[in-house]
Amino acid sequence: MKKIKAVIFDMDGVIFDTECLWKEYFVLANKEFNANISEEYRQSICGKSEEAIRNELKELYPELDADEYREFMLKGVRQAISEGCFETKDGFETIVAFLKEKGCGLALATSSRRARAESMFEKKGYRKENIFDVFVFGDDVGTRCKPDPYVFEIAAERLGVSHDECMVLEDSLNGIKAAAEGGFVAVMVKDLIPPDDYCKRRCSLIADSFMDVKKYLENII
């Protein structure tokens, strides 16, 4: 493995503990719309763009009003986020300080739209410009959402590093697939979604926390 020169962070489920909100409103939406969509399916769409999710729902569940279903979920999650009902993951500030001390490039690469992402950082008192060198949002990738590696490819290009010198921190199966297929060093930071066989094969590390990532990086940075 080459020396790691940059680290790309996903946002939801990696930096911020928001996946529990999505799961909560997924359950509520199923009840509200009398839908029978499985938790396994919910996990399979994590990391995809909103447009891709809606199109997939319309194809798989034609009897469901996918737009209303997703709007119900989005409204609930947005309200919770606007009220600050989410936390920053333990160790985030520590690993950022460690990476900056080592001169490592930092990027944020998220499927979320810019306005939503910026509002979340502001809610927790962060200026994203003081943390990251590069930002890539869902607005930047169009229909090329995860598991397409495009979001990470843009980040690496802006950072000026090759893919194999760049670590991607992800919690979703689609995010890990995007990182691995793009030739990045894929690391799963576990949240609500358990690693599947693909993750176990393709991840350089499956971490319980940022502290595990920091310990791993100490030897390759």
For the segment 152-205, what is each residue's pLDDT rounded down to a tens digit? 999 999 999 999 999 999 999 999 999 999 999 999 999 988 999 999 999 999
Taking the alpha carbons of 187, 6, 19, 75 in that order, is the dihedral positive or negative? negative
Residue 147: CB partners within 8 Å, gap ≥ 6?
Answer: 47, 174, 175, 177, 178, 181
What rounded mean pLDDT belongs to the chain? 95
Angle at which helices 66-82 and 19-32 pack, to 10 degrees? 140
Q: Which of 142, 198, 136, 203 is nearest to 168 (CA)?
A: 203
* pTM, two decimal places: 0.92
Q: Which of 178, 197, 173 is nearest to 188 (CA)?
A: 173
What is the maximum alpha-carbon separation in the chain? 54
Angle at which helices 66-82 and 114-123 pack, to 10 degrees? 30
Report yes or no: 17 and 87 within 8 Å, Cβ to Cβ.
Answer: yes
Q: Which of 7, 183, 179 is nearest to 103 (CA)?
A: 7
pLDDT of residue 142: 83
Structure-token match 């927790």, residue found = 124
Residue 141 token pair:
């990738």
Specify the amino acid at residue 159.
L
Structure-token match 């199923």, residue found = 30
Distance CA 221, CA 216 (A): 9
| pLDDT of 66 above 90 | yes
| pLDDT of 49 above 90 | no
